[in-house]
Structure 1
Amino acid sequence: MLGIIKTEFLKLKRFHVLLIGLIGMTLPAILSVFTQAVATPEVTTQNFDFLALFNSTIWNSATIFMPVIFTLIGGYLISREYTDNTLKNILTVPVSFQRLLFGKLLAMGILSVLFGFYSYTITLIVGVLSGISGLSAVVLCTGLLQMLGISAFTYIAVLPIIAFTSRKPGIFMGGVIVSFLFGYSAMFIKDVTMRSLYPILSGLTVMRFDTGTFMNTSEHGNLTLSMLSITIMLLLTITIVRLTNPPQAVFKRKKHKKTDILIRKRPKGR
Structure 2
Amino acid sequence: MLHIVIKTECYKLKRYNILWAGVALMLLSVLLTLFTSIANDGSVWDFAYLTEQVIKNNMTMIFPMCITLIAGYIISREQTQDTLKNILTVPVSFKWLLTGKLIVCGGLFIIFGLICSFFTIVAEFLIGFPGFGVPLAIKAVVQITAVNFLLYLAVLPIIVLTSQLTSGFLVGVILAFVYGYGGLFAARNMTLANLYPITASLGIVDYRSYDEAVHWNILMCICSLILVVGISVMLIFGIKGQELKQINKKSKKVVIKKGW
Using structure 1 for the length normalisation, give the TM-score: 0.88
Q: How far off is 1:115 after superposition? A: 0.4
Name the residue aligned to 2:205: 207
Name the residue aligned to 1:12: 13
Task: Answer yes or no: is the 8 Å Cα contact 2:204–2:221 preserved in 1.
Answer: yes
Matched, 1:220 2:215: yes
Q: How far off is 1:140 after superposition? A: 1.2
- Per-residue displacement from partner, 1:174-195 (whole Å, max 9, x unpaired)? 1100000001111122111110
Q: 1:237 aligns with which of 209, 212, 232?
A: 232
What SS does the corresponding residue of 2:243 show, helix, strand or coil? coil
What SS does the corresponding residue of 1:95 show, helix, strand or coil? coil
Q: How far off is 1:249 after superposition? A: 3.4
Cα RMSD (Å): 2.0
Structure 1 CA distance, aligned partners of 2:53 and 2:18?
25
Following TM superposition, the consecutive aligned residue runs of length 4 or more in structure 1 with deviations greater than 6 angstroms are none
Matched, 1:144 2:145: no
Name the residue aligned to 2:4: 3
What SS does the corresponding residue of 1:132 show, helix, strand or coil? coil
Name the residue aligned to 2:116: 119
Using structure 2 for the length normalisation, give the TM-score: 0.91
Q: How far off is 1:132 after superposition? A: 2.1
Matched, 1:191 2:189: yes
Name the residue aligned to 2:258: none
Name the residue aligned to 1:58: 55
Q: How far off is 1:255 after superposition? A: 5.5
Q: 2:90 aligns with which of 76, 87, 93?
A: 93
**Larger-gyration structure (1/2):** 1
Structure 2 CA distance, aligned partners of 1:212 and 1:194?
19
Could you tell me the percent identity over the aligned residues? Answer: 35
Structure 2 CA distance, aligned partners of 1:55 and 1:211?
11
Matched, 1:70 2:61: no
Structure 1 CA distance, aligned partners of 2:177 and 2:10?
25
Task: Answer yes or no: is the 8 Å Cα contact 1:168–1:247 preserved in 2.
Answer: no
- Per-residue displacement from partner, 1:107-152 (whole Å, max 9, x unpaired)? 1100111100000001111110112232112201211111121111
The count of residues paired between Structure 1 and Structure 2 equals 252
- Per-residue displacement from partner, 1:44-100 (whole Å, max 9, x unpaired)? 422x11111111111111221110000001111111111100000100101111000
Structure 1 CA distance, aligned partners of 2:137 and 2:68?
28
Q: For structure 2, which runs of at least 5 residues remain unmatched after alignment?
A: 256-260
Q: How far off is 1:247 after superposition? A: 5.5
Q: How far off is 1:5 after superposition? A: 2.0
